[in-house]
Structures are given as C-alpha cells and as structure tokens.
Amino acid sequence: MRFLLVEDNGELAEAVVKRLALDGHAVDHAACLAEAKEFLAGASYDLILLDVMLPDGDGRAFLAQSRAHLETPVIVLTARAQVSDRVGALDQGADDYITKPFDFSELEARCRAVLRRRGGSARNEIAMGDALFDPMSGSLRLGEDCVTLRNRETRLLEIFARHPGQTLSKGQLLDRLFSFDAEVTENAIEVYVGRLRRRIGPMGLRIETVRGLGYRLETAAG
C-alpha cells in the first residue's frame, strides 16, 4: 500500500518511513503542506498520516478544506492530547488520531484498523474465493494449506484484494507499490506479478492478464 506522511520532524519522519517500509509499504514524505499538495496532485494514496503543526499551516485546517474532494483515509499525528483536540480532528474529517510520542506497533495497528474500516471489514483476514488472506502476516490459507508471502508480494496481493473484480494497469500497480523516489519501471510489475502468480496458484487464485489494460485477480469461485 502507498502512504503519504506529512511531518516536519525529520528524525521522526525517517523512523516512520523505515518502519512502514519493513512491512512492504511505499511511503512518500512531505515536510510541509505545500509539498503534501504536490504529492497528492501526482499520486493516489491508500492512507495519509498528517501532522497538525506544520511550518506553513495547521494540518487540521488543511484536512477540513480538503475533505470535499479528498476521500483518502487520514490519521492525524499530534502532541496535543486534550479531548477537545481529538474531537476537533475527528469532526474535521480525520479517520483516527494518535498522540506523540507513540509506539510504532500502535501506529501500525491503527493504520490496519483504518484500512479495514474503509474496506468494510472488521477483521484482518480477507476472503478471496475459498482462501483467506491476512495482509498483516502475509499468509494465504486454503483449508490446511498455507503459504507465507514476502513483503512486496503481500502488498501486491493486498492491492488486488482491495479492488475486487477490477482490472489494474501496470501504472496503477506501480503507483500503489512504490514511492516517488523509487527508481523502478513498469517492468518491475511484470516481475512481481509473475512471482505472485506462482505463489497463489495452488491456493485457487490466479492473476489474469487483460491485454492492453493490465491485470485482474480471479478466484476459483469467480
């Protein structure tokens, strides 16, 4: 999944980016609202992590102004712990709120929870035909059989899982899997799709090539 982190504390931002990257997520870092707007104009994101006090404005005001056209889920990051601050952020359009300093495991859990809610699920596991996919552990189970995917394979399957029945172009997959500073081409998508195909085939899933358009995930049931 691709995240946008809007945070002016360079040390904290670097730590968050590295931690999320360990799970295979692509993260773009904006140090101010102006940079955030540039990133949002050029890419689609699955989740935004938004600081409140930024050099060029208040993140909450930016969120309130953007909600008319911005549907991406947002978790607000701030040192303000007052109830009124939390309520205000939620009323202005935040999907969740976490106070600094925070534990990275809690941040990861909140990211998963927000993405689950946006996907209409209360559980980590996603049903894919007769198989069950857990994006947190990277496991795909079919009966007693189980395969554990690598990080990038996990994120790629998660993209397909959250866009059921849709044909996704190489460009869309590239956009979701890699940040702006990653030096990759669409050929990389072909490599990862090929690897994922081999791993999920025995689990009743296949990735179909739609000529000229991209790829679509198919299950044994559909």
Q: What is the largest CA-CA distance in the chain?
A: 54
Rounded to the nearest 5°, which phi and psi values hold at 109?
A: -65, -40
User: What residue ranges of the chain are covered by domains with CATH 3.40.50.2300?
Assistant: 2-118
CA 106 to chain centre: 16
Domain 126-219 has CATH 1.10.10.10: yes
Query: Element (H or E) spanning 77, and its range?
Result: strand 74-78
CB 83 within 8 A of CB 91: no
> One-letter amino acid identity for 13?
A
Q: Pairing mode, if any, of strands 53-54 and 47-51?
A: unpaired
Domain 2-118 has CATH 3.40.50.300: no
User: What residue ranges of the chain are covered by domains with CATH 1.10.10.10?
Assistant: 126-219
* Region for 214 from its dihedrals, namely left if φ exceeds 0, alpha if ψ lies in -120 to 50, beta otherwise: left
Q: Which residue, 57, 52, 44, is CA-closest to 89?
A: 52
Tokens of 137: 């552990």
Which pLDDT score, from 0 to 100, does residue 222 have? 47
Identify any residues that bridge with 90 across adjacent strands, giving them in sequence order.
Answer: none
Q: 23 pLDDT exceeds 90?
A: no
| pLDDT tens, residue by residue, 90-145 | 888 899 999 999 999 999 999 989 988 876 655 678 889 899 999 888 999 998 99
Q: Count Cβ atoms within 10 A of the Cβ of residue 81 and give its class: 0-12 exposed, 13-18 middle, 19 or more buried.
A: exposed
CB 38 within 8 A of CB 180: no
Q: Which residue, 153, 166, 172, is CA-closest to 217?
A: 166
Decide: pTM greater than 0.85.
no
Please state, for a pLDDT cut of 90, what percent of the chain lies above it: 64
